[in-house]
A and B are shown apart, each in its own frame.
Chain A
Amino acid sequence: MSGKLLSMKEAVARFVHDGDTAVIEGFTHLICFAAGHEIIRQGRKGLTLARLTPDLIYDQMIAAGCAKKLIFSWAGNPGIGSLHAFRRAVEAQPPRLEIEEYSHFGMVARMAAGAANLPFWPMRNYTGADIPSSNPLIKTVACPYTGEKLATVPGLRPDVTIIHAQRADASGNTQIWGLMGVQKEAAFASKRVIVAVEEIVDEAVIRSDPNRTLIPGFQVDAVVHEPWGAHPSYAQGYYDRDNDFYVKWDGIARDEASLASYLNEFVHGVKDRAEYMAKNAALAGRLKAKPSVCAGVDYGY
């Protein structure tokens, strides 16, 4: 045992600090709400939150007062509409939240540069768009070989990244299947990494299918066993996305008071994810995944 196995409470206490640049990644899939809720419960302040799609989790953290700044590329409730806490914070005059905005490609490139230990990443992008004029960190560089003008974004080096995954061993060798977003890049770009998983498995399970490993244990500081830790996001093969909750959030978040009472009941009002699940007793029955098992491959030689 490597001593990395921690509760979410211990992992957040040890690895997420006030003022950190923090990333909870996962594109629609595997968004670690359990970590966001624990950060809210522990009252972290002054965070710079980075992620492609702030989603409901950052809407909740913004409403809870954890965030000083948001780095992002699409701030909406997918298929539904607005993130209302985010909107209230940026539409206020003066705004209550600093923003640094890219497109998805720009955010992906920032993570890729950070993960590769490079100061910036070149890309063919942003020609004719206003995005660089509202974000001076988007610059251009002349290609030293062809002279072509390329757009650049700076590498992102988060202090801490939190990844949810289907499974890992106790050392943090982490396997993900289904949509992988930028989890690999975010984890490698980050100074500290917390992995939360649906299942802790033996190292032998990881070794039986090494192509499935997205993040090796040496990149991981803490491993948290957190079943259903991604709800209302989802975990392929474990549970479906709670699309009804995403619809419901639109109503909850429209009003500051109803948002606050949601946080009181489902975040501050529970001590951990297990209690959250006990409060949402019908979830498991409604969302549990139907099996669709792959054929597997032969690693023999």
Chain B
Amino acid sequence: MAIETAADYTLAELMTVQASREIKDGEVIFVGIGLPNLACNLARATHAPNLVLIYESGAVGAVPDRVPPSIGDPALVTGSLMVCGMSDVFQLILQNGKIQVGFLGGAQLDRYGNINTTVVGPYKAPKVRLPGSGGACEIAIHAQRVLIVMKLSKRTFLEKVDYITSPGTRPRGAERGGVAVPGRGPTKVITDMGILEPDAKTGELVLTAIYPGVTVDKVRENIGWPLAVAEPLGGVDLPSAAEIRLLREKLDPQRLHIK
């Protein structure tokens, strides 16, 4: 049976749907705040009911009945499979290689998928002081694959980031894995205009899929490095009516996450 395609959707909704579709049923996922949270809960409500959502706060197999405004929300505890201390989360689960997918976002991202969530400007004389790593650095290092969800903009997609909080494919020009780095690093960057993936040889992010109605020029206008485009350039499947309805009516009715 054909799936009914949504009649209208925004690019931010399309981005969330794309992120959710990257998740396979049954995977063990380290969930972050904001759009990743929404994408994971959308996946759980649609094609991936057996996801194991793990929050750094210690909730394992969480089944929140509201979209948690913080990663330490009480709704993550009620009905979850396990609640453990954060020492267990980072050591027994993350460092021990149990996380299949980690989600990251950030204030700045460079052409190698290095992410800055620490500071704009010099570390010791910040122009804007951002929150810092949280668990992002170790997620980037340990998750088997890292999905990055960020809106495209020339202010955030930069040739070079001011600070590497979470290492990408070529941190500081070095090969990933100079010291045992178990994860594969960023495998996809899901934006509101298209999807970038690292080139297998160079590690540089390349445009591999573009959303309907968006041009390559438009993507390039919003990116701070000379962007390479895959041949052939792919597209994406449109959101289904059910996905958009879930996002609007159930998961984010107040538009807290999709702005």
List chain A positions with a Cβ less than 8 A from chain B.
27-29, 52-53, 72-76, 78-79, 82-83, 86-87, 90-91, 93, 101-105, 108-109, 111-112, 123-131, 134, 148-149, 177-185, 234, 236, 240-241, 243, 246, 289, 292
Q: How many residues of B contact A (CB 8 A)?
A: 62
Q: How far is the CB of A235 from chain B (nearest CB, A)?
A: 9
What chain B residues lie within 8 Å of A87 (beta carbons)?
Answer: 128-129
A90 in contact with B129 given A78-B69, A78-B71 (CB within 8 Å): yes
What chain B residues lie within 8 Å of A101 (beta carbons)?
Answer: 118, 132-133
A108 in contact with B69 given A74-B132, A128-B178, A179-B57 (CB within 8 Å): no
Contact check, A78 vs B33: say whether CB atoms are below 8 A apart: yes
Q: How far is the CB of A155 from chain B (nearest CB, A)?
A: 13
Apart from A104-B90, A129-B133, A241-B69, what 16 extra A-B contacts exist at CB < 8 Å?
A: A52-B86, A90-B129, A91-B127, A101-B118, A101-B133, A104-B134, A125-B95, A126-B137, A128-B141, A129-B137, A129-B166, A178-B74, A180-B84, A182-B85, A241-B74, A292-B78
Whether, in the assembled complex, B34 has its beta carbon less than 8 Å from a beta carbon of chain A, the answer is yes
Main secondary structure of the interface of B (DSSP, over half): loop
Main secondary structure of the interface of A (DSSP, over half): loop
Q: A111 to B73, alpha carbons, bound, how many Å? A: 23
Contact check, A91 vs B74: say whether CB atoms are below 8 A apart: no
Contact check, B86 vs A108: say whether CB atoms are below 8 A apart: yes
A129 in contact with B77 given A105-B90, A105-B135 (CB within 8 Å): no
Among candidates A74, A76, A134, A181, residue contacting B85 with C-beta atoms closer than 8 Å: A181
What chain A residues lie within 8 Å of B94 (beta carbons)?
Answer: 105
- Nearest 4 Cβ contacts at the A-B interface: A28-B72, A128-B171, A128-B167, A76-B131
Residue in A72, A148, A241, A289 with the greatest tally of chain B CB atoms within 10 Å: A241
A sample of 29 cross-chain residue pairs with beta-carbon separation below 8 angstroms, ordered by A number, consists of: A27-B58, A28-B57, A29-B74, A52-B86, A76-B130, A76-B131, A79-B70, A104-B133, A104-B134, A108-B86, A123-B91, A123-B95, A124-B141, A125-B141, A127-B171, A128-B178, A129-B167, A130-B165, A130-B172, A131-B137, A178-B74, A179-B57, A179-B59, A180-B58, A182-B86, A185-B85, A243-B70, A289-B74, A292-B78
What chain A residues lie within 8 Å of B70 (beta carbons)?
Answer: 28, 78-79, 241, 243, 246
